[in-house]
């Protein structure tokens, strides 16, 4: 069992302070009922947590497949070129993602982007 505010913070892009504001604004739902307190305990395997219409799911790791276009480097940061992480949808950018493997800047192809460090060791 985990507090609902911690659950949302751990599985979304929202900070604890934002989650508390969302709860106060009556935008957080637990099993279709408005959440009134941040310290409510939930069972992530059974309960359904929503912010407005967005369901927040427990997700240990993220695995994204993307088709890398030319002109992007296979890095997390680069001072002069765009990186493959610039192609990641906004809703995943809060996670500590990295490319699993490399393709040259002028090469296109499929790439795996993940936050699962054990996947690449």
66 φ/ψ sector (left φ>0, alpha ψ -120 to 50, else beta): beta
Write the burial class of residue 103 (CB in 10 Å: 0-12 exposed, 13-18 middle, 19+ buried).
middle
Catalytic one of 32, 52, 104, 116? 104
Please choose, from the candidates 73, 80, 78, 83, the residue with its C-alpha nearest in 3D space to the C-alpha of residue 107: 73
* Known catalytic membership, residue 52: no
Write the burial class of residue 104 (CB in 10 Å: 0-12 exposed, 13-18 middle, 19+ buried).
exposed
Matching residue, tokens 């982007």: 113
* Structure token digits, residue 104: 């040259």
Q: Which residues belong to the active site?
A: 104
């Amino acid at each position: 069992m985990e507090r609902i505010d911690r659950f949302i913070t751990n599985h979304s892009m929202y900070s604890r302070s934002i989650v508390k504001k969302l709860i106060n604004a009556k935008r957080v739902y637990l099993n279709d009922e408005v959440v009134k307190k941040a310290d409510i305990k939930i069972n992530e395997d059974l309960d359904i947590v929503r912010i407005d219409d967005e369901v927040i799911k427990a997700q240990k790791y993220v695995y994204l497949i993307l088709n890398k276009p030319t002109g992007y480097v296979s890095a997390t940061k680069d001072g002069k070129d765009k990186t493959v992480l610039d192609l990641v949808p906004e809703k995943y950018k809060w996670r500590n993602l990295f490319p699993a493997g490399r393709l040259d800047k002028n090469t296109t192809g499929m790439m795996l982007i993940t936050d699962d460090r054990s996947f690449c060791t």
